[in-house]
Structure 1
Amino acid sequence: MSKSSPLPHVAAAGRSRLLRTVALLSILSAVTGCSAVDRLSQIGETPKLNAIENPTAQPGYKPVSMPMPKPETVSYNPNSLWRNGSRSFFKDQRAHQIGDLLTVTVNITDQANFANETVRNRTGKEDSGITDFIGAQTITQAHKILPGRILTTDSTSQYDGKGTIQRQESLQTNVAAVVTQVLPNGNLVVEGKQEIRVNYEMRELIVAGIVRPEDIQSDNTIDSSKIAQARISYGGRGQISDFQQPRYGQQVMDVLLPF
C-alpha cells in the first residue's frame, strides 16, 4: 500500500503563506495609499502653504482650564482719572484681549551631560559530603559505599552597566502669536504658527502657552521662558526631510522585530 505524498501539504502551506503576505501588503497599501497618492500628485511642485485659520476652530481644540483665584471687584474713585487695576495712566499698547498680537522670543539653550556606571560582582560556593562515618575507614571497600561529595555547587555573577548622555540644543527665533483666550485671572492663552518655505523644504514653528500680561515687555514681546505650559515645536517637511527619514517598511520592521 503506497503512502500519500507530502507534496500537496507543502503546496498548501506555501499558498497559505502567500495569502498572508498578500493580506499584509494589502493592509500596508491601504494605510499608506492616500499619503502616497498625495505625494505623487505633488512631484515637481513646491510644498503648499496652509491657509490662515482660526485656531479655536481647529479639530481637537479645547479651552484651557486652570485654577483661578477669587475675582476682585474693580472700584472707581469719584473725581479721579485713575482706575484700580490699570497698568498705565495712558492706553496700554500691549496685548490684553482676544485677537491681539504679541511677539514671542524663542531662546532655548539646553545642554546636559550625564554619566552613570554600575558594577556588581557576586561569588558563591557550597560543598558538602561524607568522608568518615563511625569508623568506616577501617572497613574494606568502605569508600564504595559511602558517598564522597553529596553536593558541590559554584556560582558566579557579574554585572557592569554604563550609560552616557550628551545633549546640546539651541534654538533662537521670533514668532508672532495671537491671544486666543483670556482666563478669569487675566492671564492670556496665546498660540502662534509660522511657516517658511525655502525651495522644496518647509520649516514650521509652533508656539503655544499661557502668559501673564505683566511679563509682556513694553515693545509687546515676551520671552519663551516666561510662558507657562509652553508647547514649542520646530520641524520641517519636504524633500530633505523625506530623505532623512527611514522608509515605512523599515519603521515597521524596527517596531515588530524583537532583535
Structure 2
Amino acid sequence: MSIRTSNPDWGAFAAIATVAVIVICAAIDPAHAKSTRGPDPAFAPTYAQPPAAPIANGSIFQISNGYSALTNGSRAAMVGDIVTITLVEKTQAVKANSASTDRSGNIQATPAVTGPISHLFKGTDVSGGAGATFTGKGAAAQSNQLDGEISVTIAQIYPNGTMLVRGEKLLTLNRGDENINITGIIRGADVGPDNRVLSTRVADARITYSGKGEIARASRQGWLNRFFSMLSPF
C-alpha cells in the first residue's frame, strides 16, 4: 500500500485569495454600499408640544402653549414651526504668489611678476565667476456654489429670541440618492413673511450635501487605485 502526496497548487490558491480580497474590499467599499438610507436621527424633525391642560381658574379665555398674538401673523416663532432655508451659498478663493532671484559675480586678476621668469607669465590672466538664478511660482483657486431650498423645523427657542433649526431632505432618484442636512441658529427678525431665511443668515450653520449611487460611484476612485495611491511616495 502506498500513499501518494502531491504539492499544493499555489497558483490556484493565489487566484482564490485574490478573488476573496476583491469581494471583501467591494463589500466594505462605501461606494458599493446600499444607496438608499434612512433618516439621520441627528436631524430628526421637532414636533410641536401638545397644549397643556387648561387651569380651572374660572377665566373664560385661557392662554395655551399655542397662543400667538394677532400682530405675529403666520410667521414661525414656536417649537415645531416650519422654516424654509434658501440655500445661496457661494464661496470663491484665489491665491497666487511668485518669487524670482538673480545673483552673479565676476573677478579677474593679472599677475605682475618681474625678474628672469617674468616671460613665463606674460599674457596670463586669472579670472573667476559665479551665478545663481531662482524662479518660483504658485497659484490656487477654489469655488463652490449651492442653490436650492430645504424646509426645517424649529427645535429650540433661546431666551434672547434666537432659534435652533434643523432638518434634512432625502431625494431618491433613478440614478442614486441626494441628501441635504442642515442645522444652525437663526434670528426671529430674519424670518420673512413667507417663513423663509437665507442660508447666509444662519449662524453656526452645518450644511451637508452628499450623494450615493451610480453617478457618485463613477466619479470616485476605485478601492485598488486608492490603495496604491496611499502607498505611492510621490
Instruction: Name the counterpart of 2:36.
Output: 48
Q: Out of 86, 99, 111, which is 1:131 matched to?
A: 111
- Change in CA separation of 1:163 and 1:51 when aligned onto 2, cut-off 3 Å: closer
The CA deviation at 1:38 is 9.7
The CA deviation at 1:177 is 1.0
Q: Out of 88, 98, 109, which is 1:118 matched to?
A: 98
Q: 5+ unaligned residues in a row in structure 1: which ranges?
A: 1-24, 57-86
The CA deviation at 1:53 is 3.2
Equivalence map 1:31-46=2 (5 Å): 32=25, 35-36=28-29, 39=32, 42=34
Instruction: Name the counterpart of 1:70.
Output: none
| Alpha-carbon distance in 2 for matches of 1:194, 1:214 | 25
SS at match of 2:77: coil
TM-superposition CA deviations, 1:192-246 (whole Å, max 9, x none): 2111011140011122211001111122221112111222222211111111101
Give the total of aligned pairs.
190
- Change in CA separation of 1:257 and 1:49 when aligned onto 2, cut-off 3 Å: closer
- Change in CA separation of 1:246 and 1:161 when aligned onto 2, cut-off 3 Å: same
Maintained 8 Å contact 2:97/2:137: yes
The CA deviation at 1:163 is 2.5
Q: Out of 119, 131, 136, which is 1:155 matched to?
A: 131
Q: Out of 173, 180, 197, which is 1:198 matched to?
A: 173
Equivalence map 1:179-218=2 (5 Å): 179-218=154-193
The CA deviation at 1:255 is 3.8
Greater RCO (CA < 8 Å, at least 6 residues apart): 2
The CA deviation at 1:153 is 4.1
Instruction: Name the counterpart of 2:117.
Output: 140
Maintained 8 Å contact 2:78/2:157: yes
- Change in CA separation of 1:211 and 1:143 when aligned onto 2, cut-off 3 Å: farther
* Aligned AA (1:35): I
The CA deviation at 1:184 is 3.2
The CA deviation at 1:48 is 2.3
- Change in CA separation of 1:37 and 1:173 when aligned onto 2, cut-off 3 Å: closer
* Aligned AA (1:96): A
1:233 aligns with 2:221: no
* Aligned AA (1:161): K
- Change in CA separation of 1:124 and 1:90 when aligned onto 2, cut-off 3 Å: same
| Alpha-carbon distance in 2 for matches of 1:251, 1:143 | 71
- Change in CA separation of 1:53 and 1:37 when aligned onto 2, cut-off 3 Å: closer
Moved more, 89-98 or 224-233: 89-98
Maintained 8 Å contact 1:201/1:240: yes
Instruction: Name the counterpart of 1:11.
Output: none
Report the aligned-residue RMSD: 3.7
